[in-house]
Structure 1
Amino acid sequence: MIYRLIFFLMLTASPALAARECHGDAACPLGDRSYHVLEPDGWDGVTPLPVLLHFHGWSRQGTVVVNHERIAGATKLRGVLLVAPNGLGKSWNFWSADTGDVPFADRVLEDVAKRYPIDPERIYVSGYSFGGAMAWRYVCQSGDDIAALLAVAGSIRQTEACPEAPREVRHVHGLDDTVMDFPFGPGGETTYPVALWRAKYNCNGATPRGDWSVKPFLTLSRLEWTDCALGQVTLDTHPGGHFIPHGWIGWQLDELLGRTPSYP
C-alpha cells in the first residue's frame, strides 16, 4: 500500500516543495512530530532519489544522523536522500508490534515523497543501536516495499513472527558488543543475529565471503545466504564493540546501487 502511495506522490511531487523549507538541522514538521532530511551532493533537483531512512540511536535525534560522517557522509556522496525521523523522548518503541513508531515512519516516507521525487524501488531502511532495533521492527511490520534493511548493532527478538519483510537484509554486529549484546546462538553460534530472516526467507547454507575492511584497525568477516526461496541475507561481524564501522553504510549502498564499493 505504501509503495503505491509513494509512487503516486513521486509522480506528483514538485522539486520546488523541497527547496530548503526544511533541510539538515531544520526539522520537517509532521503533525506533532518531525524528521530531518539531507539532500545528496550535486543533486539536480529533478532526478528521482534513492532514500535511506535511518533511525537514530538512544538519546539522540535526527540532527545527529544528518551530521554524522559515517551516515550522512555516505549518502551525500552516493546520490541518496537521507531521512532521519525523530523518536519520542529521543528513543524508539520497538519492543513489540504494537508501536506507534511504525505508522509514524510510514507517514515520514509519505511526506518525503510529497517534497522530493524519490525512487520507490530503492528505499533502504537503516538504524544504529536502538535505531537498529527500530529498523528491524519497521521492516518486520511494514517492509514489503523496502529494498533492503541495513542494520547496525541492534535487532529485535529472533523468535518474532514478521508479517512483512524487505527484499534484502544486511546486518553488522560486533562480537564484543556489551551495549546491545551480540546475540550468540546455542553453543556460541555466530550466525544467530539473522536467524529470523534466514527462517523468513527459507534460506539454506551460508556462503563465506571472507574478510574485508576499509580501515586497517577493523576487519569484518562476511557471510551471505543467497540460496533462499525469497530475499537474501548478509551478516558482517567484527571483533569490536558497539559502534558504526567506518565505511559500512557506504559500502552497502555502493553494492545495492550497483557501484564499485569505495571509501568514503
Structure 2
Amino acid sequence: MARRLSQALAFPITILAILLSAAPGRAAAGMDVEATLPVDGVSRSYILHLPPAAAGGNPLPLVVVLHGGGANADSAIALTGFSAEADAEGFIVAYPNGTGRLRPTTETAGQFSWNAGDCCGAAMRRDADDVGFLRTLVSTIEQERAVDRHRIYAAGFSAGGMMAYRLACDAGDIFAGIAVVSGAILLPSCTPSRPVSVIHIHGTGDEAVPFKGTAERESYARAKFPPVRESVAFWAAFDGCRTQPVARATVLGIKAEDYPDCKAGTAVRFDVVEGGIHAWPDGTDTPGFVATPHIWHFFADHPRL
C-alpha cells in the first residue's frame, strides 16, 4: 500500500459517537456516530459524520466515502479529512466498511474490501452485494436525517474508487456524482441508468493501479487493469460530453482535462498528477492541490438536475 494508506491504517479502530467540542478560534466540529444495519442477514457497519449544520434540520448533501482495499472506515476518515471539510461546508459524510474475510484473524479483523467487479479480495470472492448494502445505507440515512436527494455523491480511493465507479454504473439513480482517486472501472459491462458527474484523480507513477493499465492480471489486486483514461472516456461518452477534453495546467504538476458540454448538467474531469504515486493527494507531495476540497467543490457545482 502507498504511504498515505499505510499511515491511515496505523490509526486504531475507535469507538465513536461523541460530540467534539470546538477549540477556541476554530469552527465547531461535528458528531461521529457508529452504526450497523442488516443486509441480507449480514450485519454491515459504518460511521456517520454529522456536521454542525445538521442541527438546523435543513436537507444537506450526503457524501459516501469508500476506503481502499485492506482498510476500513476509520482509516478513510484519517486519510481523506472529509469530516473537517463537511463541518466547514455543511454536508453529511458516511464511511461504510466493506466486506471482510469469512474467518478473520486478529491481524485481518479490521481489513475490508469491496466487490467492484473484477476486484477486490474477500468481497469479490464472496460475491458480496456491496451495491445493495450501499443502496440500503443511503436509504437508511435518508429516513433518519434530512438529506438533499439531488446532492448524493460517492468518493473512493483505490478499491474504493473502483467501487465508486460500480455505483455510477449500477446505482446512478441515487448518485449525482462520483469521485475516484487511483481507481478504474473493473466491471465486465457497465450499463448506467442515467448520466453521472465524474471526477477522477490519478498519478502517472501509480504502481498499484497503473496509469497505462496492465497487460496481465496484476498481483496487487489480482486484476487486469485497463488504461485509466478509458474509464474517464467511457463516462464522457455516456454523459454526452465532447470526445476531446480541454486540457489546462492548474498548479505545478497537475494537468486538468475537462470534457465540455455534457448532458443533464453533468461534468467529467480528469486530474492527472504527473509522477504521482498511489495516494490520496493531501498537498504534501502536491503543493497547492488537496484532493478533498477539490472533490467537494466539484460535487457542489454538479447536483442532480
TM-score, normalised relative to structure 2: 0.68
Paired residues for 1:15-94 under 5 Å: 24=32, 26-31=33-38, 32-89=43-100, 90-94=112-116
Please state if 1:114 is matched with 2:143: yes
Instruction: Compare relative contact order (CA 8 Å, sep 6+) and give the higher one, 1 or 2.
Output: 1
* Amino acid in the other structure paired with 1:94: A
* Amino acid in the other structure paired with 1:37: L
Please state if 1:203 is matched with 2:241: yes
* Amino acid in the other structure paired with 1:220: I
Instruction: Quote how far apart the aligned CAs of 1:181 are.
Output: 1.5
Partner Cα distance (1:226, 1:157) in 2: 25
Instruction: Quote how far apart the aligned CAs of 1:248 are.
Output: 1.6
Percent identical across equivalent pairs? Answer: 27
* Contact 1:142 1:165 (C-alpha < 8 Å) held by counterparts: no
* Amino acid in the other structure paired with 1:57: G
Instruction: Quote how far apart the aligned CAs of 1:258 are.
Output: 4.6
Partner Cα distance (1:83, 1:121) in 2: 16
Three-state SS of the structure 2 residue aligned to 1:235 is strand
> Which of the residues 151, 160, 163 maps onto 2:189?
160
Residue deviations 1:57-80, cap 9 Å, x none?
Answer: 111111222344533232222111
Alignment length, in residue pairs? 234
Structure 2: gaps of 5 or more residues: 1-16, 20-30, 101-111, 119-123, 215-226, 283-289
Partner Cα distance (2:243, 2:192) in 1: 23
Three-state SS of the structure 1 residue aligned to 2:253 is strand
CA change 1:43–1:117 in 2 (3 A) is closer
Instruction: Quote how far apart the aligned CAs of 1:102 are.
Output: 0.2
Matching residue of 2:9? none
Partner Cα distance (1:30, 1:183) in 2: 39
CA change 1:68–1:229 in 2 (3 A) is closer
> Which of the residues 252, 259, 270 maps onto 1:235?
270
CA change 1:61–1:158 in 2 (3 A) is closer
Matching residue of 2:172? 143
Instruction: Quote how far apart the aligned CAs of 1:84 are.
Output: 1.0
Deviates more, 1:155-164 or 1:46-55: 155-164
Three-state SS of the structure 2 residue aligned to 1:257 is helix
CA change 1:250–1:171 in 2 (3 A) is same
TM-score, normalised relative to structure 1: 0.78
Please state if 1:250 is matched with 2:293: yes
Paired residues for 1:178-197 under 5 Å: 178-183=207-212, 191-197=229-235
Instruction: Quote how far apart the aligned CAs of 1:147 are.
Output: 1.4
* Contact 1:146 1:166 (C-alpha < 8 Å) held by counterparts: no
CA change 1:166–1:248 in 2 (3 A) is farther
Partner Cα distance (2:271, 2:279) in 1: 13
State the Cα RMSD in Å. Answer: 3.0
Instruction: Quote how far apart the aligned CAs of 1:226 are.
Output: 1.9
Partner Cα distance (1:76, 1:155) in 2: 29
Structure 1: gaps of 5 or more residues: 1-17, 260-264
Three-state SS of the structure 2 residue aligned to 1:164 is coil
